[in-house]
Amino acid sequence: MRRADGYYAQFCIDIDRTEDLTPTGKTIGLDMGLESFYTDSNGVKVENPRYLRKAEKRLKQAQRRVSRKKKGSANRLKARKRLARQHLKVSRQRKDFAIKTARCVGVRCRTPIQSNDLVALEDLKVRNMVKNHHLAQSISDASWSMFRTWLEYYGKVMGRVVIAMAPHYTSQECSSCHVIVKKSLSTRTHTCQCGCVLDRDHNAALNILAAGLKSTQGHWETATLRESIAPTTEAQSDVAS
């Protein structure tokens, strides 16, 4: 495989990777966004790193250097390689963030997959969303699809339930009384007549979690019950023997 900084070789090994984790009995819902990368159903926000936005100045400078060089010259080729390495760095930063956010790393981590038995998130159609030219760059920079891919992968490895729910009306519906409260994108606080006042994204995350629990109720409750009964059954068999 060829990259901007050289050639790489990949070796594929077919193994069954699993990690045994103790069930926590906890669940969480995630509302993906641009202001914050995601807001969970506990009200915790994870900052959106915006790697492309931060690298825009360097990328523009590198692009100008390419444009100033004579076509076909060795200097132009060197400038193109420098520009490609800048883009590669942004790509790797996104991937690194997606992996570390999908899997808990160290005690400072706020990420969901290791500390929750069920994770519900939005089933976002990114391919359709990037057709909005005003938000396309920001949506691509957020790398939601990559985050979801790694979240689902670690869910299989760790035996966690990861489910993607339809995002329709998650921001409009009140998580307390389920009444539809229409609001524009600029309205960041959910205020309902029932007295519920929440951050817009927090309210959406609660709705996503509720929908996820409803759709997987039988499967998740059975799995949780099995895990909780298993130690007791083993203890009783040890006493009997």
pLDDT, one tens digit per residue, over 10-41 is 888 888 888 887 888 888 999 998 989 999 99
Q: Are 224 and 25 in contact (CB under 8 A)?
A: yes
In percent, the amount of the chain with pLDDT more than 70 equals 86
Q: Per-residue b/e over 153-192, b at no fewer than 16 CB within 10 Å?
A: bbbeebebbbbbbebeebbbbbbeeeeebeeeeeeeebeb
Catalytic machinery residues: 31, 122, 201
Task: Specify the residue for token string 């045994």.
Answer: 20
Residue type, 186: S
Give the confidence band of 50 by pLDDT, cuts at 50, 70, 90.
very high
- Residue 218's pLDDT band (cuts 50, 70, 90): low
Task: Give the pLDDT mean for 60-84.
Answer: 93
Task: Give residue 82's pLDDT band: very low, low, confident or very high (50, 70, 90).
Answer: very high
**More confident position, 89 or 110:** 89
d(CA 127, CA 149): 15
Q: List, for residues 151-171, the tens digit of each pLDDT value.
A: 999 888 888 889 999 888 898
pTM exceeding 0.75: yes
